[in-house]
Amino acid sequence: MGTLTEEIFSRKLGREVKAGEIVWVELDRIMSHDTMSWLAIEAMRKVSNELGIEAKPKFPERIVIPFDHILPPANIDQAKMQRNIMNFIKEHKLPHFFQEGVCHQIMIEKGFVQPGNIIIGSDSHTCSYGALGAFGTGMGSTDVGIAYATGRTWFRVPESILINVTGEFQEGVYAKDLILKIIATLGVDGATYKSLEFRGDAITRMSIPERITLCNMAIECGAKAGLIEADEKTVEYLQGRTTENVDINNNGIIKANNGNYEQTFNFNISELEPQIACPHDLDNLKPISEVEGLELHQVFIGTCTNGRYEDLEIAANILRGKRVNRFTRTIVIPASTEVFQKANESGFIKIFQDAGCIVCNPGCGPCIGRHQGTMASGEVALTTMNRNFKGRMGSPEAEIYLGSPAVCAASAIEGKITDPRKRREE
């Protein structure tokens, strides 16, 4: 008996586990990306030395290293760091190394995330994996390095908050609008140390990409994980994506079982309108009607939150045959090579380029302010990212607004914040 979180830990440990317990767990996967792997490698060496064990990854096949944050490197230091990590990967024959998209998208689309898995990553948006019913959480490089060396880490099993979602989205309203609303309702520290468990008929109807958008942003209200029970859609999504070590049938599908929820929030999405998170925190959320017309210098569509095929399809349908405002730098970055190629086959890439967008290689792009769209003082951006923190995309005097791919696409055409429902009516 327990929440989905407790059930996942109970299954893993083979005994009933309750929230609040400190448990040691053997991890199914350990993910680290280009900017954090080197610190993790150093931590692995240090802990191995202290423990008197050989300094090498205990389970090389469980480690996944996607380069994404600065891909390809934008300066000499970054190139050197990435080369050092690659030498480590070569030395230890780590089988899972990628340079083809955002780490979380790689983890999910290449089958490294299975229902019931417990996974840590050197990135706060590791909580995305809850979309497939896996407990994923972000940790720092010391924890990741220790996990490299020992295959394990400790958790305080979190209490859960239930997010019950009913109703149907209106035309032009998406999972992104919902998660922005949920975060602003709970507050940016409203779920600190907790799991968010999403449930309800609206969640059941959502596609896996929509579920990823929800779980991806659980960290933005402080949550340790965002979780959705795996179902037929999950199993269907994973068909053909699983790797040699995983078996959906053996893992089974774990469901919550009469757990105790610390809090329950009910959302009916039928009346929800497009939402915009305004600078410089996600608490500062406004319905689009209150910010329409704001001039934009940059629009960015992509990231682990909204860079999937389905997101690009929404944007392409709005941008087809149109031009973006020529003074609004519009950047489109597919979340992975798989997404890029599929979008290309569907003609979306051509639509973006014909519209005057800058289409970059898969990766994190300007989300961390280091390349491919770093912003100047006084510039205003609207993006599909998950954070609008001051200084995140470059100058601390730049402003970042967050919205759905539909809002971003419609706004790029006008060069100002535009309600996608109005554009469609034209």
Question: Where along the sequence are the contacts to another protein (CB under 8 A)?
Answer: 22, 24, 35-36, 38-39, 43, 46-47, 50-52, 77-78, 80-81, 121-124, 126, 138-143, 146, 150, 152, 154, 156, 188-189, 192-193, 219, 222, 224, 281, 283, 368-370, 374, 387, 389-392, 394, 396
Residues 6+ apart with CB under 8 A from 114: 28, 132, 134, 238, 242, 246, 248, 251
Contact 193, 222 (CB under 8 A): yes
- In the complex, least distance from residue 228 CB atom to another protein, rounded to whole angstroms: 20
What is d(CA 310, CA 292) in angstroms, rounded to the nearest whole number? 25
- In the complex, least distance from residue 355 CB atom to another protein, rounded to whole angstroms: 29
Structure tokens at 340: 């890029």
- In the complex, least distance from residue 360 CB atom to another protein, rounded to whole angstroms: 17
Complex with another protein: residue 22 or 258, whichever CB lies closer:
22
Q: Is the N-terminal amide bond of 92 cis, ω within 30° of 0?
A: no
Complex with another protein: residue 27 or 312, whichever CB lies closer:
27
Complex with another protein: residue 60 or 222, whichever CB lies closer:
222
What is d(CA 349, CA 64) in angstroms, rounded to the nearest whole number? 28
- In the complex, least distance from residue 229 CB atom to another protein, rounded to whole angstroms: 23
- In the complex, least distance from residue 120 CB atom to another protein, rounded to whole angstroms: 9
**Residue recorded with tokens 């053997």:** 26
- In the complex, least distance from residue 3 CB atom to another protein, rounded to whole angstroms: 17
DSSP character for 159?
Answer: P
Complex with another protein: residue 95 or 391, whichever CB lies closer:
391
Complex with another protein: residue 84 or 268, whichever CB lies closer:
84
Extended beta strands in 139-176, E state: 152-156, 160-166
Q: Is the N-terminal amide bond of 72 cis, ω within 30° of 0?
A: yes
> CA 217, 345, 243 angle in degrees (round to 5)?
55
- In the complex, least distance from residue 255 CB atom to another protein, rounded to whole angstroms: 26
> CA 197, 179, 419 angle in degrees (round to 5)?
160
Complex with another protein: residue 81 or 173, whichever CB lies closer:
81
Complex with another protein: residue 51 or 376, whichever CB lies closer:
51
